[in-house]
Amino acid sequence: MATPQWPKMEKRALLGKRISRLDGPVKATGQAKYAYDMNRPGMLYARCCFAPYGAMKINGIDASAAEKAPGVRAVLVEQNMIGDEVRYVGQILATVAADTEEQAHEALRLIKVDFERLDMVLDDMNPANATGKPSGKEEGTVDDAMAAAKVVSEGEYGIPVITHCCLEAHGQVSEFKDGEMTFWPSTQSVSAYAEGMDQSIEVEQSKIHVDCQYMGGGFGSKFSHDQWGVIGALLSKQTGRPVKLMLERDQELMVAGNRPSAFGKVRVAVSPEGKMTAIDADVWGTGGNGGYRMPPVPYVFEGIPNVRNKGQGIKTNRGSQRAWRAPSHPQGCFITMAAVEDAAAAAGIDALEFFKNNLDLTSRPEVYAEQLDIAAELIGYKTKAHLRGQGEGPVRRGIGISIHTWGGMGHPSNCDAIINPDGSVEIRLGTQDLGSGTRTVVGIVAAETYGLPLEAITVSMGNNKYPFSSASGGSTTVGGVSSSTRIACTNALNALLEVVAPRLGVAPEALEVAGGKIFESAKPGNSIAWKDACGLMGPNPITKQGANEQKASQDLKLIDAGVGGVQMADVSVDIETGVVTLNEMVAVQDCGLIVDLKTAESQVYGGLIMGITYALYEEALYNHKTGRMLNGDLEFYRLAGLKDIGQLKVHMMTTEKYDSRGVIGLGEPPVISPGAAISNAVANAAGVRVPHLPLTPERVIVALQKGGILV
């Protein structure tokens, strides 16, 4: 009898090996079809007319000229906006569907909007603009601890609003035919995509079909079908034609995902023993037109005995915030770790020593201690490190450290495992592969369970006809799907073993699978090939279900939650130009049992690159008069390219101690620390803290001038 627990490390054929992703070749050759690639017969192209100012009262929308424009098949005016207020640029006022993209565009210009301008708030750097209810806490005696400290360091830190900037924009192709609606969206949530949509489009839930095989990034911004999902469907119903509605880059950047900003004034008290004894943090920021949650400060060093923090949101006339890979963590991490490093510098203590000396204030001191040692070794800390500001010459080098944490518990997921009489195997589940390797992970778990090569497994997913699997967010997918797949496959295997046992003359409990054979554990020579075994089943396939239920799976040690990670950055700062160059970055990460070492490492590389990008380049900038994004393009909304990222080194914790916990999510953790690690490295090199990210020449120069390093 097979059991669902993971096989022992030494008995694994595929788990934890470096395996290339299954969909690599089709992606690299352009055969993989994304939402934008779906072209249906007679398809129309839809484009949105959006609000040009951040605050307006709409008196009327006249689309009559647009309706008559060449190629236009339908115009959908957002009637509920008439008489209402616009709160950010990009809000949809009307949508045109036309034969070509260009015609749709031209028609948009004919829509006349009658409006009055209203006052708007855009500035999120000024805490006086805060209107939200403050949150926070006070624990211990902060003022006493500050008074008793050997050193109190004080700093201001800030991380601006950035966007999700998915290379594949939001949107979908929708097709209404014979009373049924089919969507090809770009989504992080295939199974639940249509949730709540049935009423707005008047199509029963069971008649809504969703298919998303490949995806060009979501990062937390693609959980919902969104307003454009409904609009596309309505236009398809109205015209009887398939409709492609994908956001254009400017609108994508303005409305389809903002990460809240966070600014903070922080004081940290350090005792004569080099221990942090108190922290006092005042934090604010904006979630745009949406709500604001105070990022965790102190982050990870939650055991600091005396804590006072206050957080407050500023409502601004910008698009609403959406969950951005590890919501709140990069902000909390940056503000905290920068303040910690400033405290070390103020106390004249080497940063690595200071972090180590304070690990008992975290909830996993041994993990971080081990990871810090590995990271220090990989980056050559001993030979390269110096105290802050000890560099010389125009180009100065420095190292920075940061540590982080994340949960990553597997989400609810259901799976069907099917073994066919011809020996073929199919796994079905309504999950999605965001590009992270989900399809490959499912295949590996199934192949491992059946003792088959990966190629023998067909993974069917990305469609809502398959068993429900939750949305991919919060690093919950790998735990969810590997656990449901393992359980489903084990159940199906046991049914097969029942069939095979009589042939081998033993009880099913005496059997196991490996290397394409089913055999008697005690007498491996007593065996039957997989295919022959399946031939004994008769005409009907074996189909068994498996579900990931968190508590049960955790008890089986299939999954767990809670990880630690350490990152170090090595940068050069040109103090005559303010240009920061990343030389090297090291990431040491724990994520429990690793299903595929290669895609796991890839995930960390991706996190590092995304993190380097927001540390050095990204920020959403707005026109102070109109509220429109100034850099709503990929030209001045800069992203790091290959030449910008330096050398990246990834080390995954793979020893028994970590492995035995089961599978834990990895999507978020690696993107949390880069901002802090890079900012700390720049402070170490330049001799001053550059308070705000991104670390652009203009900010670095101003900080160097303020710090008297550049005159």
Q: Which residues bind other proteins (CB under 8 A)?
A: 102, 105-106, 576-580, 616-617, 621, 623-626, 628, 630-632, 635-636, 638, 640-644, 696-698, 701-702, 705, 710
Q: Closest Cα to residue 248, out of 634, 623, 610, 620?
A: 634
- Quote the least distance from Cβ 697 to other proteins, whole Å: 6
**Sequence-separated (6 or more) residues with CB below 8 Å from residue 30:** none
Strand partners, 485: none
Look up residue 79 and give its two tokens.
């009637």
- Quote the least distance from Cβ 251 to other proteins, whole Å: 13
Q: CA-to-CA distance for 378 and 527, rounded, in angstroms?
A: 47
Q: Could you tell me if 303 and 265 are in contact, meaning their C-beta atoms sit under 8 angstroms apart?
A: no
To which residue do tokens 């508590």 refer? Answer: 551
Q: CA-to-CA distance for 248 and 185, rounded, in angstroms?
A: 15
- Given the complex with other proteins, which of 111 and 444 has the nearer CB atom? 111
- Quote the least distance from Cβ 623 to other proteins, whole Å: 7
Compute φ and ψ for 185, nearest 5 degrees: -100, 170
**Sequence-separated (6 or more) residues with CB below 8 Å from residue 149:** 269, 270, 271, 277, 278
Q: Could you tell me if 546 and 552 are in contact, meaning their C-beta atoms sit under 8 angstroms apart?
A: no
- Given the complex with other proteins, which of 544 and 699 has the nearer CB atom? 699
Q: CA-to-CA distance for 485 and 445, rounded, in angstroms?
A: 7
- Quote the least distance from Cβ 706 to other proteins, whole Å: 12
- Given the complex with other proteins, which of 54 and 290 has the nearer CB atom? 54
- Given the complex with other proteins, which of 294 and 573 has the nearer CB atom? 573
CA angle 586, 588, 592 (to 5 degrees): 155
* One-letter amino acid of 191: S
- Quote the least distance from Cβ 154 to other proteins, whole Å: 25
- In angstroms, how far is CA 265 from the centroid of its own chain? 27
Q: Could you tell me if 309 and 283 are in contact, meaning their C-beta atoms sit under 8 angstroms apart?
A: yes
Query: Could you write out the DSSP letters of every residue in 514-538?
Result: ETTEEEETTEEEEEEEHHHHHHTT-
Strand partners, 267: 154, 280
- Quote the least distance from Cβ 638 to other proteins, whole Å: 6
Q: Closest Cα to residue 214, out of 456, 401, 438, 540?
A: 438
- Quote the least distance from Cβ 217 to other proteins, whole Å: 19
- Quote the least distance from Cβ 624 to other proteins, whole Å: 5
Angle between helices 674-686 and 329-347 (to 10 degrees): 30
- Given the complex with other proteins, which of 167 and 630 has the nearer CB atom? 630
- Quote the least distance from Cβ 215 to other proteins, whole Å: 24
Q: Could you tell me if 586 and 568 are in contact, meaning their C-beta atoms sit under 8 angstroms apart?
A: yes
Angle between helices 697-706 and 674-686 (to 10 degrees): 40
- Given the complex with other proteins, which of 190 and 580 has the nearer CB atom? 580
- Given the complex with other proteins, which of 81 and 704 has the nearer CB atom? 704
Q: Closest Cα to residue 252, out of 287, 294, 289, 221?
A: 221
- Given the complex with other proteins, which of 291 and 641 has the nearer CB atom? 641
- Quote the least distance from Cβ 581 to other proteins, whole Å: 8
- Given the complex with other proteins, which of 71 and 303 has the nearer CB atom? 71
- Given the complex with other proteins, which of 102 and 138 has the nearer CB atom? 102
Look up residue 526 and give its two tokens.
């007593």
- Given the complex with other proteins, which of 363 and 631 has the nearer CB atom? 631
Q: Closest Cα to residue 695, out of 680, 711, 710?
A: 680
Question: What is residue 398's DSSP assignment?
Answer: E
**Sequence-separated (6 or more) residues with CB below 8 Å from residue 249:** 169, 632, 633, 634
- Given the complex with other proteins, which of 149 and 580 has the nearer CB atom? 580
- Given the complex with other proteins, which of 198 and 250 has the nearer CB atom? 250
- Quote the least distance from Cβ 698 to other proteins, whole Å: 4
- Quote the least distance from Cβ 398 to other proteins, whole Å: 18
- Quote the least distance from Cβ 646 to other proteins, whole Å: 10
The runs of H, that is alpha helices, within 271-404 are 329-347, 351-357, 365-379, 381-384
